[in-house]
């Protein structure tokens, strides 16, 4: 399945009445299965969730826990950069070489390795492996 198409399709389902910024994310797990999520805002603004968080939740609920590839798409003028919190969430389930592709709806795309999105991530090794 084409990850960009999957992310664009779920972006249409985004609930973003406050920002008007609709985001879709698609994750290909190591198993090959594709999971999707969109942003879900809330009138209590901090309670909103990002598209990446939704896709990760779907992945875990689907029985996968290893990310192979990520694509995010939004309607801004330049490729959307996953927020800091989402970078940390992605690192929990993805190795440093996982490609993260950031897309605009008008066809721009930029791919970076997860380790380059979040250098110096907080990882379990820093707690002695726990």
Q: Which CB sits closer to ligand THU, 12 or 127?
A: 12
56 binds ligand THU (CB under 6 A): no
Closer residue to ligand THU in complex, CB, 104/125: 104
Nearest to 80 by CA among 60, 59, 57, 110: 110
Closest-CA residue to 23 (of 7, 34, 35):
7
Judged by CB under 6 A, the number of residues near ligand THU is 15
Give the count of alpha carbons within 13 A of 101, CB side only: 20
Question: Is the Cβ–Cβ distance between 101 and 70 less than 8 Å?
Answer: yes
> Does the active-site annotation cover 52?
yes
**The only residue of 10, 82, 93, 98 in contact with ligand THU, by rule CB under 6 A:** 82
Pairing of strands 67-74, 99-104: parallel
Residues 23-52 interacting with ligand THU (rule: CB under 6 A): 23, 39, 41, 48, 50-52
Give 89 or 129: the residue with its C-beta nearer to ligand THU. 89
Catalytic positions, please? 52
């Amino acid at each position: 399945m084409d990850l960009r198409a999957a992310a664009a399709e779920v972006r249409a389902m985004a609930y973003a009445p406050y920002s008007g910024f609709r985001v879709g994310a698609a994750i290909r797990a190591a198993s090959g299965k594709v999971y999707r999520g969109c942003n879900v805002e809330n009138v209590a603004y901090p309670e909103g969730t990002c598209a990446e968080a939704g896709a990760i939740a779907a992945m875990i609920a689907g029985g996968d826990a290893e990310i192979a590839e990520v694509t995010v798409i939004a309607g801004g003028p330049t490729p959307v950069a996953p927020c800091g919190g989402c970078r940390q969430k992605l690192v929990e389930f993805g190795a440093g070489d996982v490609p993260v592709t950031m897309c605009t709806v008008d066809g721009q795309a930029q791919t970076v390795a997860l380790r380059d999105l979040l250098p110096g991530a907080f990882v379990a090794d820093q707690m002695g492996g726990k």
